[in-house]
Amino acid sequence: MSVNIERADDIKRHVWGSEAYPLERPFPRTYRRPWSKLQSAWDILLKLRNHPGAIVGGLVILTYVVCAVFAPYIAPYSPDQVALTERFVAPSLANAHPLGTDQLGRDILSRVMYGARVSILVGVLTIAISMAVGVGLGLIAGYYQGVFDKVMSRFTDLLLAFPYLIFVIGMMSVLGPGFWNLILALCFKGWVEFYRLARAEVMSQKTCEYVEAARALGRSDGAIMISEILPNIVHSILVLGTLRMGNMIVMESSLSFLGLGVPPRIPAWGSMVSDGRRYMLNAWWVATLPGLALVILVLAINLVGEGLRDVLDPRLQEGQ
Amino acid sequence: MTRTQVQVTERIIAAIPIMLGVVIFAFLFMRMIPGDPVDIMMGEAGGVTLEEMDFLRAQFDLDKPLLVQLTRYLGKLARGDMGYSIQRARPVKEVILEAVPATIELALFSLLLALVVGIPLGIASARYQNSVIDRFGMTASFLGISMPAFWLGIIGIIVFSLRLGWFPTSGRIAYGMEPATVTGLLTLDALITGDTQALRESLRHLALPAITLGAGVAAVVARVTRSSMLEALKTDYVLFAKAKGVPELIIVVRHALRNALIPTVTVVGLQMGTLLGGNMIVETIFGWPGLGRIVVDAIFSRDYPLVQAAVMVYALTFVVINLVTDILYTYLNPKMTL
Amino acid sequence: MDAFNNQAKHNTLIHAEPNNLIHGGKFHGEKSPALEISGLSTEYPTPRGTVHAVRDVDVVLGKGDILAIVGESGCGKSACLLSIMRLVPRPGRIVKGSVKFEGKELLALSEAEMRDLRGKDMAMVFQDPMTTLNPAYRVGEQISESLRVHGLLSGFPRRLLREEREKERERVIGLLKQVGIPSPEHRHLEYPHQFSGGMQQRILIAIALACRPKVILADEPTTALDVTVQAQVLDLMREINEELGTAIIFVTHDLGVAAEFCHKAAVMYAGQIVESGEIEDVLSSPLHPYTRGLLRSIPQIGQRCELVPIDGEVPDLTDLAPGCSFAPRCKEADLRCLHTDPHLVQLDNGRKVRCHLYT
Q: What is the mean pLDDT of chain B?
A: 83
Q: Which chains sit next to C, with 3 or more Cβ pairs under 8 A?
A: B
Tell me what pLDDT residue B87 has: 75
Q: Write out residues 25-64 of B within 8 Å (CB-CB) of A.
A: 25, 29, 32-33
Q: Which chain C residues are Cβ-neighbours of B239 within 8 angstroms?
A: 87, 89, 126, 132
* Closest alpha carbon to C245 in C200, C202, C213, C284: C213
Numbered residues of chain C with Cβ closer than 8 Å to any chain B Cβ = 85, 87, 89, 115-120, 123-124, 126, 128, 131-137, 145-146, 149-150, 191, 193-194, 204, 207
The tens-digit pLDDT sequence of chain B (338 residues) is 677 778 788 888 888 888 888 888 888 877 777 666 677 666 655 666 777 777 777 776 767 777 888 888 888 888 888 877 777 778 888 888 888 888 988 999 999 999 999 999 999 999 998 889 999 998 998 898 888 889 999 999 888 888 888 888 887 777 767 777 777 777 777 778 877 878 888 888 888 999 999 998 999 899 889 888 888 888 889 999 999 889 889 899 888 998 888 888 888 888 888 888 888 899 988 888 888 888 888 888 778 788 888 888 888 888 888 888 888 877 787 775 43
- Minimum-distance CB partner of B276 among A163, A175, A298: A163
Tell if the CB–CB gap between B311 and A162 is shorter than 8 Å.
yes
Pair B15, A2: CB distance under 8 Å: yes
Q: Which residue of C has its CA nearest to B129?
A: C90
Q: How far is C124 from chain B (nearest CA, A)?
A: 6
- Minimum-distance CB partner of C131 among B237, B250, B335: B237
**Touching check for B127 and chain A: CB below 8 Å?**
no
Q: Over A194-261, what HEC string results? A: HHHHHHHHHHHHHCCHHHHHHHHCCCCHHHHHHHHHHHHHHHHHHHHHHHHHHHHHHHHHHHHHHCCC
Confidence of residue A14 (pLDDT cuts 50, 70, 90): low
ipTM for the complex shown: 0.85
**All domains of chain C, ordered by start, with CATH?**
5-121+211-358 (3.40.50.300), 122-210 (3.40.50.300)
* Other C-beta atoms lying within 10 Å of the C-beta of residue B285: 26
**Touching check for B244 and chain C: CB below 8 Å?**
yes
Judged by phi (left if over 0) then psi (alpha if -120 to 50, else beta), residue C183 lies in left
Find the mean pLDDT for residues A266-291.
86
Pair B243, B143: CB distance under 8 Å: no
Pair A71, A109: CB distance under 8 Å: no
Distances in Å between the alpha carbon of A259 and those of A172, A252, B157?
Answer: 10, 10, 20
Confidence of residue A124 (pLDDT cuts 50, 70, 90): very high
Q: Which of C81, C87, C122, C134 to mutate to test the interface with B (most CBs of B within 10 A)?
A: C134
Q: Which chain C residues are Cβ-neighbours of B134 within 8 angstroms?
A: none
* Other C-beta atoms lying within 10 Å of the C-beta of residue C160: 9
Find the mean pLDDT for residues C314-331.
79
**Touching check for B149 and chain A: CB below 8 Å?**
yes
Model-level pTM? 0.82
Angle at A213 between CA A209 and CA A218, to 5 degrees: 150
Confidence of residue A39 (pLDDT cuts 50, 70, 90): low
Instruction: Identify which of A23-27, B72-76, C201-205, C334-338 has the greatest average pLDDT.
Output: C201-205
Q: Which residue of A has its CA nearest to B276?
A: A163
Q: Which residue of C has its CA nearest to B232?
A: C134
Tell me what pLDDT residue B211 has: 92
Tell if the CB–CB gap between B220 and A17 is shorter than 8 Å.
yes
**Touching check for A269 and chain B: CB below 8 Å?**
no
Find the mean pLDDT for residues C207-230.
85
Confidence of residue A319 (pLDDT cuts 50, 70, 90): very low
* Closest alpha carbon to A206 in A255, A293, A292, A144: A144
Q: Which residue of A has its CA nearest to B158?
A: A280
- For the cut 80, the answer to whether the pLDDT of residue C9 exceeds it is no
- For the cut 50, the answer to whether the pLDDT of residue C310 exceeds it is yes
Report DSSP letters for A28-94, one per residue.
P------GGGSPPHHHHHHHHTT-HHHHHHHHHHHHHHHHHHTHHHH-SS-TT---GGGTTPPP-TT
- pLDDT tens sequence across C23-80: 333 333 445 788 889 889 998 888 778 888 888 888 888 888 899 998 887 788 888 9
Tell if the CB–CB gap between C131 and B235 is shorter than 8 Å.
yes
Angle at A67 between CA A65 and CA A68, to 5 degrees: 65
Tell me what pLDDT residue A318 has: 35
Q: Over C298-354, what HEC string results? A: CCCCCCCCCCCCCCCCCCCCCCCCCCCCCHHHCCCCCHHHHHCCCCCEECHHHCEEC
Class of domain B104-301+318-332: mainly alpha
Tell me what pLDDT residue A15 has: 58
Q: How far apart are CA C201 and CA C125, in angstroms?
A: 8
Tell if the CB–CB gap between C207 and B244 is shorter than 8 Å.
yes
Give the contacts of B38 (CB within 8 A, at least 6 positions apart).
B53, B56, B57, B60, B62
Confidence of residue A299 (pLDDT cuts 50, 70, 90): very high
Confidence of residue A36 (pLDDT cuts 50, 70, 90): low
**Touching check for A273 and chain B: CB below 8 Å?**
yes
Q: Which residue of A has its CA nearest to B318?
A: A161
Tell if the CB–CB gap between A273 and B151 is shorter than 8 Å.
yes
Q: Which residue has the higher pLDDT, B3 or C170?
A: C170
Terminal alpha carbon distance of chain B: 14
- pLDDT tens sequence across A42-55: 777 777 877 888 88
Give the contacts of B172 (CB within 8 A, at least 6 positions apart).
B102, B105, B186, B202, B205, B206, B288, B289
Tell if the CB–CB gap between B244 and C134 is shorter than 8 Å.
no
- Minimum-distance CB partner of B244 among C89, C135, C146: C146
Q: Which chain C residues are Cβ-neighbours of B334 within 8 angstroms?
A: 135-136, 191, 193
Q: How far apart are CA B258 and CA B247, in angstroms?
A: 16
**Touching check for B86 and chain A: CB below 8 Å?**
no
Angle at A13 between CA A8 and CA A18, to 5 degrees: 155
Q: Which of C86, C128, C132 to mutate to test the interface with B (most CBs of B within 10 A)?
A: C132
Q: Which amino acid is at B311?
A: V
List, by residue range, all CATH 1.10.3720.10 domains of chain B.
104-301+318-332
- pLDDT tens sequence across B36-64: 667 766 665 566 677 777 777 777 676 77
Tell if the CB–CB gap between B14 and A1 is shorter than 8 Å.
yes
- pLDDT tens sequence across A210-234: 888 888 888 888 888 888 888 888 8
Strands C49-62 and C264-269: unpaired
**Touching check for A253 and chain B: CB below 8 Å?**
yes
Tell if the CB–CB gap between B237 and C119 is shorter than 8 Å.
no
**Touching check for B143 and chain A: CB below 8 Å?**
yes
Q: What percentage of chain A has pLDDT greater than the value 90?
A: 20
* Closest alpha carbon to B177 in B199, B194, B209: B199
Tell me what pLDDT residue A1 has: 35
